[in-house]
């Protein structure tokens, strides 16, 4: 909702979801800091989630 100069956002996520990587990528996406797959790769690297068979070159 919007009220004068303030915007209130709420995001609901199921507790059983793996939300940390997705939330990090969502923040980068909202800020326009990087493209989708670069963000996913960077997050996976930092969190130690890199897998050898994951294709980060998808567009």
Q: Which of 7-11, 18-22, 45-49 has the lowest mean pLDDT?
A: 18-22
- The string of pLDDT tens digits covering residues 27-39 is 888 888 888 888 8
- Section 10-16 average pLDDT: 74
Cα–Cα distance measured from residue 6 to residue 40, given in angstroms and rounded to the nearest whole number: 30
pTM for this one?
Answer: 0.56
Looking at residue 40, its pLDDT comes to: 86
Whether 58 has a pLDDT exceeding 70, the answer reads: no
Q: What is the mean pLDDT of residues 6-17?
A: 78
Return d(Cα 2, Cα 33) in angstroms, integer.
25
Residue 2 has pLDDT above 80, yes or no: no
Task: Report the C-alpha gap between 11 and 29 in whole angstroms.
Answer: 15
Q: Where do we find the tokens 């989630």?
A: 49
């Amino acid at each position: 909702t919007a009220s004068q100069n303030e915007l209130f956002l709420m995001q609901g996520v199921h507790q059983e979801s793996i939300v940390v990587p997705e939330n990090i990528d969502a923040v980068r996406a909202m800020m326009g800091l990087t493209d989708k797959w670069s963000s996913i790769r960077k997050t996976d690297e930092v969190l130690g989630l890199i897998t050898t068979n994951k294709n980060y070159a998808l567009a």
